[in-house]
Amino acid sequence: MVNLTIDGKEVKVSKTATIYEAAKEAGIYIPVLCYAKKLLPYGACRVCLVEVEQMKGRLIPSCTTPVTAGMVVTTMSDEIRKVRKTVLEFLLVNHVVDCPVCDKAGECDLQDLSYEYEVVTNRFAGEKFDLPKDEINPLIERNMNRCVLCGKCVRVCDEVVGYGSYSFINRGFETKIATAFDRGLNCEFCGQCVSLCPVGAILPRPFKFKARPWQLKEVNSVCGYCGNGCTVTFGTKDNEVQTIRFNDKTGVNDGNLCIRGRFGATYVNSDQRLTSPLIRKDGELVEASWEEALEKVTEGLRSAGSSAGIISGARLTNEELFLLKNLAKAVGTGNLDHSGGECYKGVTEGLHETLGLQASTATFPQVEKANAILAIRNDFYETHPVFGMVVNQAVKRNNAHLTVIGDKQGKLTRMPHARNLQHKPGLEVNILNAMCRFLLDEKLAKTDGLQGVEELQEALADYAVDAVTAAAGVSADAIKQSAKELVSAENAAILLAYGLPYTAYSRELGLAAANLALLTGIAGRSGSGLYLCGEKSNSQGAIDQQILPAAGALGVSGMLKSASEGKLKALYVTGEDMLVSYPDKGLVEKALDKTPFVVVQDLFLSETASKADVVLPAASFAEKSGTFTNAERRIQRLHPGIKSPGQAKTDFAIFQALLTGFGAAVPATEAAAFMALAATTPGYEMVGLEMIGDQGYVWGGETLVPEIRNLVAVTGGKALEAKYQLVVGSALYHSGTTSVHAKGPMSVVSEPYIEFGREDAAELKIVDGQQVKLKAAGGEISAKAKVDRRLPKGVLFAPYHFGSLKLNRIYNGQASIAVEISK
């Protein structure tokens, strides 16, 4: 700690603080334009100049100057005022004064400072910039005439996002912020630059002319898309979510968001939302009253009893899942499961068998301090983009060693010094096994207290590094080096995402990752962690509450199989469009057709809903109270920003009504439900709603210590012998099937595509945008080609979000699909 004096006030701050930070901590105001808490000091704008007694003769930029003991700082004097005013005058030589039409007016730092420093005339005159606006992309408008060259957009895109869209180009008076070759913006569209731009140079286009900033009501809630659990701050007006506003004070995401979080919430305003219950009459779905619909559902479920199946999405709140579980009990069925059944076995079974846990062992912020990181499946940053940003910061700021095991390249593999173990599809487990084997052979493994060391060593006989190297197509040195880094790092992290597009050998992957985490001592060690991240906003909550089949009962795949054989009497699906997103469309179709009574509860009349007997209109995350548990076990509270459209009800209200129909006990409020679920959910026992503050509450603490330490041998995959094979996954811009109703993500990726590596595209003479057909066992799919740089030869990729692609006609959960290509 360092003592200094600012404006006569004694201040004690950390020795790494800058003068600006010290002043801020002491409640002393210094204006800034280029400073941002999460970026490295830069010192470009010069409005934060202050006087330091020990550095007389010049003014000192407070945002880049570290404090020293005994410093005497003055933050305001006649001279400082004069200089700051001059700086503003210089900025306003170039900056156009078009505040009346600028969306930033009312919250623009330059405007506020011009007002504060009374810049009413300008002693300097010059030609204003007349640069063309970038209005090509649908989400982010760039008007460089308003730019003050603070470089925040350049820095955030590099330091935090790791995409590097922007740079300063040209020099001198001609300097401006631009993309490579000065083209329109074509990036991840996370909008981090939008959130940090202090002026109106970078603006969210969807918000244009929607409201003045001061007209918006702000409500903090949790993003409804992925398991990252980012805080979103709704700016609402006229019962619509108009924009998602910057907020680095609440939650763990430091104001960082991805395209879905920042631009994808608008589906809640969609005029396609279901507004009243629908009942099938004479083959048609017609509007009905809630009474009639609920009565029908109660009756249908009651008569099905133990042969009813309940499948839930993982975007329901904990409280809603709790009621759903009670509903299953009231109906008398153990056939309860969530999201795909197979996809999360890595956590529910893999981790359970090895660690006795069913959750990540540490929290996201710890990863920033990791020295070695292993990311399994580079898609993990596409499913959990903001977590990907944490990895970027670990690599860029703390020189963490990053290894990526994946079948395609991505943003992570392009990070500085990233080691890319790009393997043939379906062989992740083999590589993890090889790492384990290497650590055991070389006596590097930390085997103290582990069960099954010898058995594992024996079982891994076929996974010597050289053997795996040849089969998987990665270098032996890379495998060895990564294993060494993981085992020797003070803090290390193993990251794996799972979800609907990754159903193949999910349990095996969970086991293999857990084995490695045990052998390297990562699991349960403070500062290190094994992260198994669920795809959806409350995947972890669903696992915590055991939204899983009861002993001897059916999980999703069992239910679908059984239903397709006509053995289930009722199916109740909440928040899932199974026909689009689940593997094996044929099976799902048959299951829905053969089940006499199908209920679908959703926001939209999805493909699955249109097959139902009763459709119940549900509320979106923006209309709910309750809690989500994110992939690091952080329980966070949702707050409703708007009212539901028409007669749509929250899942909570719907389950309440159904439970009442069954004569079961019903918690009156979400708060009561939370108390009840906390009492019965392991890890939640001591958690009260009042304990969930701005940063949420991590159940089990920052580090979750394994209950057992069992090594479990696991068999790897075999490479598919096919000239061309298709892998299925998530696209960064979308999440499940919900984001296809959101204007933001749809304006960037509006239709399905089949991605080709450039080598294959050149050989097949396929160009970007050309219609191509893929034939596989099970059928044929057709979509436009997208030619990119990230796929190896012979491997194609297709995202699973779009119903029109009918991808699950050929995807049955296999690691990769042999395909034939035609035009």
Partner 1 sequence: MTETAQQETVEEIDLTAANRVIDKYIDMHGSLMPVLQGIQEAYGYIPEETVHLTAERLNVYASQIYGVLTFYAQFHLQPRGKYIVRVCMGTACHVKGAGRIAETLKDRLGIEHAETTEDVKFTAEYVACIGACGMAPVIMVNDATYGSLTVQKMDDVIKKYQAMD
Residues forming the site for partner 1 (CB under 8 A) = 136-138, 158, 163-171, 178-186, 414-418, 748-751, 753, 768-769, 784, 786, 789
Least distance (Å) from partner 1 to the CB of residue 171?
Answer: 5
Task: Give min distance, CB of 203 to partner 1, in A.
Answer: 17
Helix (H) or strand (E) holding 563: helix 556-564
Taking the least distance from each CB to partner 1, the nearer of 135 and 240 is 135
CB within 8 A of 112, min separation 6: which ones?
none
Nearer to partner 1, 165 or 656 (CB): 165
- The Cβ of residue 685 has, within 10 Å, a number of other Cβ atoms equal to 10
Percent helix, percent strand, percent coil in the chain, to nearest 5 = 35, 20, 45
153 or 347: CB nearest partner 1:
153
Min. distance of Cβ 157 from partner 1 in angstroms?
8
The three-point CA angle 735-192-768 to 5° equals 55
393 exposed, middle or buried (CB, 10 Å; 0-12, 13-18, 19+)?
Answer: buried
Q: Smallest distance from the beta carbon of 176 to partner 1, in angstroms?
A: 10
**In the complex, least distance from residue 93 CB atom to partner 1, rounded to whole angstroms:** 22
Structure tokens at 794: 């012979």
Nearer to partner 1, 166 or 628 (CB): 166
Shortest Å, Cβ 781 to partner 1? 16
Which tokens hold the place of 636? Answer: 């966070």
Kindly state the smallest distance separating residue 795's Cβ from partner 1, in Å.
Answer: 18
- Smallest distance, Å, CB 755 to partner 1? 9
Residue 302 vs 414, nearer CB to partner 1: 414
Q: Which is nearer to partner 1, 521 or 803 (CB)?
A: 803
Name the residue nearer to partner 1 (CB basis): 188 or 670. Answer: 188
Within 10 A of 286 (CB to CB), how many other CB atoms are there?
11
Nearer to partner 1, 180 or 470 (CB): 180
- Residue 70 or 769 having the CB closest to partner 1: 769
Smallest separation (angstroms) from partner 1 to the CB of 39: 16
In degrees and rounded to multiples of 5, residue 350 shows phi and psi of -60, -55
Residue 290 neighbours by CB under 8 Å, 6+ apart? 277, 647, 649, 657
CB of 170 to partner 1, least distance (A): 5
Distances (CA, A) of 762 to 669, 726, 765: 60, 17, 5
Distance CA 577, CA 563 (A): 17
Nearer to partner 1, 478 or 619 (CB): 478
CB of 175 to partner 1, least distance (A): 9
Can you list the alpha helix ranges (DSSP code H) found in 251-360? 259-263, 290-304, 318-331, 345, 352-355
Question: How many CA atoms within 13 Å lie on the side-chain side of 348?
Answer: 25
Nearest approach, Cβ of residue 206 and partner 1 (Å) = 15
322, HSE (Cβ side, Cα atoms, 13 Å): 27
Q: Give 186-246 as a 3 state SS string.
A: CCCCCCHHHHHCCCCCEEEHHHCCCCCHHHCEEEEEECCCECCCCEEEEEEECCEEEEEEC
Closer CB to partner 1, residue 2 or residue 169? 169
How many secondary structure helices (H) and strands (E) does the chain include? 26, 34
Sign (positive or negative) of CA dihedral 813, 815, 816, 818: negative
CB of 168 to partner 1, least distance (A): 5
> What amino acid is encoded at 502 in this protein?
Y
**Chain centroid to CA 385: how far?**
5
Residue 263 beta carbon to partner 1: minimum distance, rounded to whole angstroms: 13
Residue (334 or 410) nearer to partner 1, CB: 410
Minimum distance of partner 1 from residue 702's CB (angstroms):
32
Q: How far is the CB of 35 from partner 1 (least distance, A)?
A: 22
Instruction: Between 189 and 463, name the residue whose CB sits nearer to partner 1.
Output: 189
Closer CB to partner 1, residue 140 or residue 293?
140
Task: Give the C-alpha separation, 697 to 694, whole Å.
Answer: 9
- Type of residue numbered 650: T
Contacts of 593 (CB under 8 A, 6+ apart): 611
Contact call for residues 385 and 533 (beta carbons, < 8 A): no
CA–CA gap between residue 362 and residue 632 (Å, rounded): 6
Report H helices in 681-748. Answer: 743-748
Q: Smallest Cα–Cα separation from 233: which of 254, 211, 205, 209?
A: 254
Helix (H, G, I), strand (E, B) or coil at 160: helix
Cα–Cα distance between 362 and 368 in angstroms, integer? 12
Nearer to partner 1, 133 or 643 (CB): 133
Q: Where are the alpha helices (DSSP H) in 332-421?
A: 345, 352-355, 364-367, 380-383, 385-398
In angstroms, the CA 157 to CA 152 distance is: 8
Q: Which is nearer to partner 1, 241 or 749 (CB)?
A: 749
At 194, which amino acid appears? Answer: V
Nearer to partner 1, 657 or 772 (CB): 772
Gap between the Cα atoms of 95 and 201, Å rounded: 10
- CA 225 vs. chain centroid, Å, equals 7
Closest contact distance (angstroms) between CB of 53 and partner 1 is 38
CB of 784 to partner 1, least distance (A): 7
Question: Residue 699: what residue type?
Answer: W
Residue 228 token pair: 């990252």
The smaller minimum CB distance to partner 1, of residues 150 and 599, is found at: 150
